[in-house]
Chain A
């Protein structure tokens, strides 16, 4: 049990639609990162939010966007869904203090299927 929850657990959308995935972090975790894990692949870094501001982005187009809220929850939004967006989406949170001993905790993921 990591204290990081994600909703929904599974989701089916059609191509061109928009989707919002949610993550609830442990209290005090001011840093959240989102990853996309395609079937049979390792997770790929999408972006990180630190204190409600984007703090780094991987090689993903602008139709992937995010929000982080003061209550330690966050969202990943994907517009104009494509078939290749079908994947497990993972969020990971930690207390970003600058101390490298802090541990990052992963949620169980949301499995998105785009038809």
Chain B
């Protein structure tokens, strides 16, 4: 079985500052990795995903993440945040088994990012 640990439950940051949201995972098999954002009273929106290839993945809204296989991490970064980035962020994994396996996600507990003016 796989598991995901998001190391920070809450991250406060000032507008235009850089931010890093940390995610570690555990799995005995190869995985796909995802970051989702959830705004209040809304569903989940995909920010970015790592499937294979380059370990640096760029996503929407200026976010990027780096896959580090040796450290089993997939940290999310943004060089300059905006007030509108205030939301809850979820790291997720699925096993790399082809077919529809990547639709079966294991999520972390979430990190609430609060951007202050």
Contact = CB atoms under 8 A, between A and B. Distances in A.
Interface of A: 2, 4, 31, 33, 35, 40-45, 48, 50, 55-56, 58, 90, 92, 94, 96, 98, 100-101, 103-104, 106-109
B45 A106 contact: yes
A43 B45 CA distance: 13
B42 interface: yes
Interface residues of B, number: 26
Contacts of B92: 42
B50 to A, nearest CB: 11
B33 to A, nearest CB: 12
B107 A43 contact: yes
Interface of B: 4, 6, 32, 36, 41-46, 51, 90, 92, 98-110
Contacts, number: 69
A108 B42 contact: yes
A109 B42 CA distance: 7
A43 B32 contact: no
